[in-house]
């Protein structure tokens, strides 16, 4: 299979789609990103990387960070995590307050905002300096020591993140946060602000395709069983409330973010990341989803 030729072909075919999505503007700093950016990077389990377009340009990973914080929290507290957060698709917008009320403060899954806030709370309770720990973990997974938080993006979201503030306070009122909402929100806004590129992200996610092993160090990140658990949650909950449509079209476990990035993994074969800032109505990158659909169709490789 010539992956590089396939990526080049997708890069050409995708051009008309770039202007169809809408760049997220509810976090003011994200509104400044040009919609025509497009990058894609593939990392294979045998250590090869193929990239195209703006694959080495940093963007705001936003909710993709939830995949890394979930992995850390699962390592820390194991199955006990599920007493505080579910693992079912939400069928509702990722920032819905309504569902949290009628489900008594237990978020549907770790990838909607309420669930991610609970996961961040777990990290704060277990680490002296959770922001450093998250950063160290991502630098280790990606093999890139230069990855950092983007303070402008974190501040921009903190100034305007009334809904996330409401969710955190609501969780606290249901006693599903051990720490103060302000502290949880500070770590959460920072984790979402992480600036990474497609190559870093494909690299960081290879452990999910490689039985829990990274390419950058020997230690096992997740056991085979945990890797299966995380990939299943990605497949059923990773791409907002159009997760069914994403599975239908792409056929891979994946996680998206409102910065326009999507990571996806094919167990035993590869991890892949695509970035295009224009989003569809559900919050997934429009051209990014199309590019992944083209990729799994052209290669004939998906989990199904
Ligand atoms: N920081 C964003 C928020 O909480 C993340 C959303 C996303 O990427 O899904 O609204």
Closest ligand 1 atom to residue 283 Cα is 9
Q: Give yes or no for residue 62 CB within 6 A of ligand 1.
A: yes
Q: What's 285's DSSP letter?
A: B
User: Ligand 1: which of 171, 187, 257 to mutate, judged by most atoms within 8 Å of the beta carbon?
Assistant: 257
Domain boundaries, the chain: 3-299
Is it the case that residue 11 has pLDDT exceeding 90?
Answer: yes
| pLDDT given for residue 188 in this prediction | 98
Greater confidence (178 vs 217) lies with: 178
Closest ligand 1 atom to residue 189 Cα is 1
Q: Give yes or no for residue 258 CB within 6 A of ligand 1.
A: yes
CATH dotted code for 3-299: 3.40.710.10
Is it the case that residue 216 has pLDDT exceeding 90?
Answer: no
Report the Cα 134 to chain-centroid distance in Å.
14
User: Ligand 1: which of 30, 61, 62 to mutate, judged by most atoms within 8 Å of the beta carbon?
Assistant: 62
**Hey, CA dihedral for 193, 195, 198, 202, is it positive or negative?**
negative
Is it the case that residue 217 has pLDDT exceeding 90?
Answer: no
Separation of alpha carbons 158 and 150, rounded Å? 12
Closest ligand 1 atom to residue 188 Cα is 1
**Confidence band for 94, pLDDT divided at 50, 70 and 90:** confident
| pLDDT given for residue 220 in this prediction | 92
| pLDDT given for residue 186 in this prediction | 98
Is it the case that residue 1 has pLDDT exceeding 90?
Answer: no
pTM of the model: 0.97
| pLDDT given for residue 116 in this prediction | 98
Give 257 Cα–ligand 1 centroid separation in angstroms. Answer: 7
What is the rounded average pLDDT for all residues in the chain? 97
Q: Give yes or no for residue 157 CB within 6 A of ligand 1.
A: yes
Q: What percent of the chain has pLDDT over 90?
A: 96
Q: Span 86-92, mean pLDDT?
A: 93
Separation of alpha carbons 102 and 222, rounded Å? 33
**Tens-digit pLDDT profile for residues 218-270:** 889 999 999 999 999 999 999 999 999 999 999 999 999 999 999 999 999 99
Question: Is there a contact between 289 and 280 (Cβ–Cβ < 8 Å)?
Answer: yes
User: Ligand 1: which of 22, 27, 159, 163 to mutate, judged by most atoms within 8 Å of the beta carbon?
Assistant: 27
Separation of alpha carbons 113 and 95, rounded Å? 5
Query: Across the strands, what pairs with 50?
Result: 42
**Tens-digit pLDDT profile for residues 162-171:** 999 999 999 9
Is it the case that residue 54 has pLDDT exceeding 90?
Answer: yes
Question: Is there a contact between 124 and 76 (Cβ–Cβ < 8 Å)?
Answer: no
Separation of alpha carbons 260 and 273, rounded Å? 10
Separation of alpha carbons 221 and 178, rounded Å? 26
Separation of alpha carbons 4 and 11, rounded Å? 11
- For residue 267, report the phi and psi dihedrals to the nearest 5 degrees: -50, 140
Q: Span 104-123, mean pLDDT?
A: 97
Question: Is there a contact between 91 and 241 (Cβ–Cβ < 8 Å)?
Answer: yes
| pLDDT given for residue 84 in this prediction | 98
Separation of alpha carbons 146 and 35, rounded Å? 25
**Confidence band for 176, pLDDT divided at 50, 70 and 90:** very high
Give 95 Cα–ligand 1 centroid separation in angstroms. Answer: 8
Q: Span 103-132, mean pLDDT?
A: 97
Q: Give yes or no for residue 200 CB within 6 A of ligand 1.
A: no
| pLDDT given for residue 214 in this prediction | 93
């Amino acid at each position: 299979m010539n992956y590089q030729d396939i990526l080049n072909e997708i890069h050409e075919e995708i051009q008309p789609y770039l202007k169809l999505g809408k760049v997220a503007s509810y976090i003011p700093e994200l509104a400044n990103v040009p919609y025509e950016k497009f990058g894609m990077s593939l990392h294979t389990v045998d250590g090869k990387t193929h990239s195209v377009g703006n694959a080495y340009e940093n963007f705001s990973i936003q909710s993709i960070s939830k995949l890394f914080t979930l992995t850390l929290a699962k390592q820390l507290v194991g199955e006990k995590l599920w007493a505080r957060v579910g693992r079912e698709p939400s069928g509702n917008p990722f920032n819905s307050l309504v569902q949290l009320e009628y489900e008594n403060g237990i978020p549907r899954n770790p990838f909607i905002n309420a669930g991610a806030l609970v996961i961040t709370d777990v990290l704060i309770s277990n680490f002296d300096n959770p922001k450093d720990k998250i950063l160290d973990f991502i630098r280790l997974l990606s093999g890139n020591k230069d990855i950092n938080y983007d303070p402008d993006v974190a501040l921009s979201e903190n100034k305007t993140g009334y809904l996330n503030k409401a969710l955190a306070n609501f969780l606290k009122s249901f006693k599903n946060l051990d720490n103060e909402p302000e502290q949880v929100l500070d770590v959460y806004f920072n984790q979402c602000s992480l600036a990474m590129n497609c190559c870093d992200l494909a690299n960081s996610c290879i452990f999910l395709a490689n039985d829990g092993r990274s390419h950058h160090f020997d230690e096992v990140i997740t056991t085979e069983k945990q890797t299966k658990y995380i990939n299943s949650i990605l497949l059923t909950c990773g791409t907002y409330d159009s997760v069914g449509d994403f599975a239908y079209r792409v056929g891979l476990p994946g996680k998206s973010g409102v910065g326009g990035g999507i990571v996806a993994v094919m167990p035993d074969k590869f991890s892949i990341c695509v970035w295009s800032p224009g989003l569809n109505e559900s919050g997934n990158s429009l051209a990014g989803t199309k590019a992944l659909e083209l990729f799994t169709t052209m290669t004939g490789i998906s989990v199904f």
